[in-house]
């Protein structure tokens, strides 16, 4: 007789229990954070606070672009959000009531200042800024084709490929040009585009990368995770659907449009639940902490252990470890102390860097684990 799976876990794994299996690749390599706001007098300041809430999604670089009439005011730099925007006057110079921001973990392109986002381009339709979380699997081929046609690239990131496709589109208006561009790429992405008078958010047809829609009083907000909404006091409205483009313009009017046919079975990234997302965020309608805890309970049923204590490796596995402890009856203990001044290690750009940082990050509590 087949034992039923935990109901919460069954909901989280539903997309993966429909006969779909992820294509083999080199492993999970993608994590960035995006945030955008429309219609707020201090848009850049709100984005700054939201990016701090999303800092766990990328710690190599950060950037904010704000639209003030016909001007796109930009600041980008290497390091944490608090370092890049250390001087109060930096935020003060980013005037405008529409803004987008980005925190980066390098997935394509090296970790250098020129690859920091958002990417800003000037087009015949006006200035555009793009902030992108995801991987375009065919970006190298498209990039080579565009270079053969005379395109000049100044970065090594997928986002600039999208920018070139938008600029080169013969569509009559910006939104049609964006639809034309994304129809030419494949992969998982959540994309924010800031024009001089509007904010646009797009999610890939498979729903691989997350994108959330919310309200902050009279303003609209878009974010990689709902924890950013909690930080700024915004209200979660809904997830942007797979293959959907939302456009906010004309005094806060929101319009929705399908940019691609959504996959029959959405494929949200399971690593959001396992590692990427903060435990207080919501993804595909489920709280991340609750799902991780359910995973721990399921693991205790499938792989019972003859152990004295259960220890979670801080911070991502703590929820799962508590679920394992509760289900197994084995007491949970704090057995590893985390150095809070060492950033996330999995998303560092090199294996050597991850191993070195790990030694500095975690230290065992000998009194807890000795003799266990």
| 310-311 and 286-287 beta bridge pairing | unpaired
Alpha carbons 105 and 83: distance in angstroms, whole number: 16
User: Where does 33-268 sit in CATH, by number?
Assistant: 3.60.20.10
Q: Half-sphere exposure of 200 toward its Cβ, with a 13 Å CA cutoff?
A: 23
According to the model, what pLDDT value does residue 27 have? Answer: 38
Q: Is the pLDDT of residue 1 over 50?
A: no
Average pLDDT over every residue of 125-149: 93
Is 25 a residue whose pLDDT tops 60? no
Q: Rounded mean pLDDT of the chain?
A: 89
> Any idea where the domains of the chain sit in the sequence?
33-268, 293-369
Q: How confident is the model at residue 350 (pLDDT cuts 50, 70, 90)?
A: low
CA 276 to CA 216: how far, in whole Å?
25
**At 19, is the pLDDT very low, low, confident or very high (cuts 50, 70, 90)?**
very low
The whole model's pTM is what?
A: 0.89
Using the predicted structure, report yes or no on whether residue 260 has a pLDDT greater than 90.
Answer: no
Q: Which of 32, 136, 182, 200 is catalytic?
A: 32
Condensed to tens digits (0 to 9), the pLDDT of residues 202-255 reads: 999 999 999 999 999 999 999 999 999 999 999 999 999 999 999 999 889 999
**Burial category of 218 from C-beta neighbours within 10 Å (exposed 0-12, middle 13-18, buried 19 and up):** exposed
Is the pLDDT assigned to residue 3 strictly greater than 90? no
pLDDT value of position 339: 85
Residue 11 has pLDDT above 70, yes or no: no
Q: How far is CA 243 from the centre of its chain?
A: 17
297 contact partners, CB below 8 Å, separation of at least 6: 6, 9, 323, 324, 326, 327
Residue 32 is a catalytic residue: yes
Find, among 223, 218, 217, the residue nearest to 190 by Cα. 223
Q: How confident is the model at residue 110 (pLDDT cuts 50, 70, 90)?
A: low
State the pLDDT at residue 26. Answer: 40
Could you give the CA distance from residue 251 to residue 204 in angstroms, rounded to a whole number? 27
């Amino acid at each position: 007789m087949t034992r039923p799976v935990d109901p919460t876990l069954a909901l989280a794994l539903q997309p993966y229990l429909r006969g779909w299996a992820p294509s083999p690749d080199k492993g999970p390599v993608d994590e960035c954070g995006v945030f955008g706001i429309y219609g707020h007098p201090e848009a850049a300041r709100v984005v700054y606070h939201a990016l701090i809430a999303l800092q766990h999604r990328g710690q190599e670089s950060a950037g904010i672009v704000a639209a003030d009439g016909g001007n796109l005011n930009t600041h980008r730099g290497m390091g944490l959000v608090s370092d890049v925007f250390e001087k109060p006057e930096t935020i003060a110079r980013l005037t405008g009531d529409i803004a987008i921001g980005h925190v980066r973990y390098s997935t394509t392109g090296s970790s250098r200042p020129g690859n920091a986002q958002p990417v800003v381009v000037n087009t015949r339709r006006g200035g555009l800024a793009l902030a992108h979380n995801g991987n375009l699997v065919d970006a190298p081929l498209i990039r080579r084709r565009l270079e053969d046609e005379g395109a000049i690239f100044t970065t090594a990131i997928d986002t600039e490929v999208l920018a070139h496709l938008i600029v080169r589109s013969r569509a009559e208006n910006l939104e049609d040009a964006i639809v034309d561009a994304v129809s030419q790429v494949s992969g998982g992405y959540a994309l924010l585009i800031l024009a001089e008078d509007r904010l646009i958010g797009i999610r890939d047809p498979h729903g691989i990368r997350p994108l959330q829609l919310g309200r902050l009083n009279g303003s609209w907000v878009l974010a990689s995770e709902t924890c950013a909404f909690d930080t700024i006091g915004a209200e979660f409205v809904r997830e942007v659907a797979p293959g959907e483009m939302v456009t906010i313009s004309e005094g806060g009017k929101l319009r929705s449009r399908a940019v691609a046919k959504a996959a029959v079975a959405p494929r949200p990234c399971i690593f959001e639940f396992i590692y990427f997302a903060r435990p207080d965020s919501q993804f595909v309608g489920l709280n991340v902490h609750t799902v991780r805890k359910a995973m721990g309970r399921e693991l205790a049923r499938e792989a019972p252990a003859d152990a004295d204590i259960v220890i979670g490796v801080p911070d991502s596995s703590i929820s799962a470890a508590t679920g394992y402890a509760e289900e197994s009856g084995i007491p949970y203990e704090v057995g590893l102390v985390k150095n809070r001044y060492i950033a996330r290690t999995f998303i560092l750009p090199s294996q050597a860097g991850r191993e070195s940082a790990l030694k500095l990050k975690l230290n065992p509590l000998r009194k807890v684990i000795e003799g266990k």
